[in-house]
Every structure is written in C-alpha cells, then in structure tokens.
C-alpha cells in the first residue's frame, strides 16, 4: 500500500492514429499537440482505496463506466492502493467518436496521473494494461490506441496473449507530419467494426500482410513516401468503412492529388489522415481535404497538421 508522493498530479495524453491503413488492431502512433488532460488528487472525502470523478463534461461521472475512471481504478489496483481515496478531473481535448483515440487518451492520462501520485512505480507495460481495462469495456480489447498514447511514437502489438508491444523508432531528425481532417459526422466504433467482413480471402490476407510489413519497414527507415504508400493500401478494412463516411473516397483522392504521400481513415473514423514531410504543404493538403468533405459529402470539417508525438502520456 504505497504512500502518496504528491497531493495532486496532472497528466496529458496525446491523440492517436490506429490501424494506419493495413495495421488493423496491431499498429498505431501518437500525434503531438492534441489530447486529453487529467488531474488526480488525494481526496479525504473519497473512501480509501476508491476513486471518484469530481468533474467532467458530456460523459458519465460513474468511474465504473467512464474510460478515465476505469483506467484510474485499474492503476490503483496495480499499485495496491488501499489507504487513500482519489478524485479525478478530466478535460477533454478530443471530440468523441473522432477516430483519434479519444477514450484511450482519457484512459492513458488517468493511469499516468494515478501512477504519478505514487511516484511513478508502474512500468509502461503495466500502464498499458491498466488502460486496456478501459478500452475493453468502452470500445473493445485492442491496444493500437492506448499503447501509443502511453508510450509515444509508433507501436506494434506483436501479441495480445500475452501482451507484447514493440516500439518502432522513426529516425530522429526526420520530419513527419499528419494532416488530420475531422468532419462534423459521428462514426461510432461499434458500428464501424460491425461493417467488417467475417472472413478474409487468402489473396487479401497476403496483400494486407505485405502492406503492413512495408509500413513497418518505412517507419524504421524514415521513408515517409513509402509509409504513405503502404498506409493507403488497405484492402480489407478501409473498403468496408469508406462508404459509411460521406465523401471519404473523394477526400482521399483530393489528398493524394494535392501532394500527400498517402491517406486513409484514422482508426474507425470519421477523421481522415494524410502524411507529408512538410508543415506548410500539410496545411495546403488539409485545405483541399476540407473542401472535398464539403463538396463530396456535404460535411463541414476542420483540419489540423500535427507532428509525430515521440513522448506519449506524461505528467505535466
């Protein structure tokens, strides 16, 4: 039963891009500048060994049904906290159902904040497992959002049973920008997963496996063009989901024509993500993608250009 090292800790966790095209449920990366913030404090009014949510907007304050609460409780359990109670405040920086790992960012920030209160005793792997407790209850048992949100950079989930995570190091000093274009449209994760085929043909399996391998190679080599090409080549998941997001096919085409190295759906959508190696060029591509969403799908959208987040969730 550890003693608190601090009375209050605030943690930030970045948004994430899951799947990256052909890496369904086993590849993801973190993006800089956007995410969720959680403050956890020792609270004498909260029963020892438990956690309460003091304030939040638009979401349940029941810690057993809130992604931050579930992950925070899982971190407390991993630490064997029994003598103090904690209260949690969540500030959402990410829209719900955006395809940018909104639930994972809340869970990651909560787990890291709870861990920080007690001096940072948990490993990155233990923090991911705490976050997975939340993902399992909220959106499904997949780590391609929670792992990169906690660990930063590109993460490959090599195995789920047992959980084995591999960090893919994108070369330092090389520029990589993500153009994130989010339309005013909701794409619930459950609905988007329900659209997936129950079986996959051998030729499609071979194609996607080769593209995922090419994507991993491109990340390790710092090959942004190769990364974009592989990211754009999903032949299993993306074709089923594109028709469910108005204008997405036209948005992908517009991104490529504007100079993006690749474009796909971020997570389960509806955010579209393109990759490029320059910020100014990224802004131009974002403008074309926003126009395409309105023209092709009748949807208003906003664009953000973000770098790869190499740090992950951190106490701030």
Q: What is the pLDDT of residues 29-39, one digit of tens each?
A: 999 989 999 99
The mean pLDDT value of the chain amounts to: 94
* pLDDT confidence bin for 60, thresholds 50/70/90: low
Beta-strand (E) ranges in 24-150?
27-42, 51-55, 86-91
Catalytic (active site) residue 291: no
Report yes or no on 315 lying in a domain.
no
86-91 and 51-55 strand pairing = parallel
Catalytic residue among 39, 133, 135, 238: 135
Q: Tell me, yes or no, whether 143 and 253 share the same domain.
A: no
Distance of alpha carbon 154 from the chain centroid: 11
Q: Are 16 and 29 in contact (CB under 8 A)?
A: yes
Q: Tell me, yes or no, whether 149 and 193 share the same domain.
A: no
Kindly tell me if the per-residue pLDDT of 43 is higher than 80: yes
Q: Are 272 and 238 in contact (CB under 8 A)?
A: no
Average pLDDT (236-265) is 97
> Which of 140, 170, 200 marks a domain boundary?
170
Q: Tell me, yes or no, whether 184 and 140 share the same domain.
A: no
**What pLDDT score was predicted for residue 191?**
81
Structure tokens at 264: 């796909």
Report yes or no on 312 lying in a domain.
no
Catalytic (active site) residue 189: yes
Q: Are 245 and 265 in contact (CB under 8 A)?
A: yes
- Give backbone dihedrals phi and psi of 203, rounded to 5 degrees, phi first: -65, -35
Report yes or no on 3 lying in a domain.
no
The domain of 104 spans 8-170
Catalytic residue among 37, 189, 271, 304: 189
Kindly tell me if the per-residue pLDDT of 25 is higher than 60: yes
**What pLDDT score was predicted for residue 56?**
66
The count of structural domains within the chain is 2
> Which of 170, 201, 229 marks a domain boundary?
170
- Residue 60 belongs to domain with CATH number: 3.30.230.10
H or E stretch covering 136? helix 124-138
> Which of 148, 170, 192 marks a domain boundary?
170
Q: Tell me, yes or no, whether 211 and 299 share the same domain.
A: yes
CA angle 103/125/208 to nearest 5° reads 70
Q: Which residues contact 196 (CB under 8 A, 6 or more apart)?
A: 236, 237, 240
The CA distance from 126 to 262, in Å, is 34
């Amino acid at each position: 039963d550890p003693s608190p090292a601090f009375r209050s800790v605030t943690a930030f966790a970045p948004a994430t891009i899951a799947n990256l095209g052909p890496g369904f449920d086993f590849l993801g990366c973190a993006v800089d500048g956007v995410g969720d913030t959680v403050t956890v404090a020792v609270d004498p009014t909260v029963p020892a060994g438990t956690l309460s949510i003091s304030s939040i907007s638009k979401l349940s304050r029941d810690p057993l049904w809130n992604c931050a609460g579930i992950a925070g409780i899982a971190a407390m359990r991993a630490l064997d906290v029994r003598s103090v109670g904690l209260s949690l405040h969540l500030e959402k920086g990410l829209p719900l159902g955006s395809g940018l790992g909104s639930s994972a960012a809340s869970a990651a920030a909560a787990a890291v904040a709870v861990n920080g209160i007690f001096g940072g005793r948990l490993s990155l792997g233990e923090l991911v497992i705490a976050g997975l407790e939340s993902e399992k209850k909220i959106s499904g048992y997949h780590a391609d959002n929670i792992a990169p949100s906690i660990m930063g950079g590109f993460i490959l989930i090599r195995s789920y049973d047992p959980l084995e995570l591999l960090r893919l190091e994108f070369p330092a000093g090389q520029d990589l920008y993500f153009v994130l274009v989010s339309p005013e449209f909701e794409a619930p994760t459950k609905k988007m997963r329900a659209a997936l085929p129950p079986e996959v043909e051998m030729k499609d399996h071979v194609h996607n496996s080769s593209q995922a391998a090419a994507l991993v190679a491109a990340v390790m080599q710092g090959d942004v063009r190769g990364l974009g090409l592989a990211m754009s080549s999903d032949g299993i998941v993306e074709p089923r989901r594109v028709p469910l997001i108005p204008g997405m096919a036209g948005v992908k085409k517009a991104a490529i024509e504007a100079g993006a190295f690749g474009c796909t759906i971020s997570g389960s959508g509806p955010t579209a993500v393109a990759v490029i190696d320059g910020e100014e060029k990224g802004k131009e591509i974002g403008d074309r993608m926003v126009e395409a969403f309105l023209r092709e799908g009748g949807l208003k959208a906003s664009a953000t250009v973000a770098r790869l987040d190499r740090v992950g969730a951190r106490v701030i």
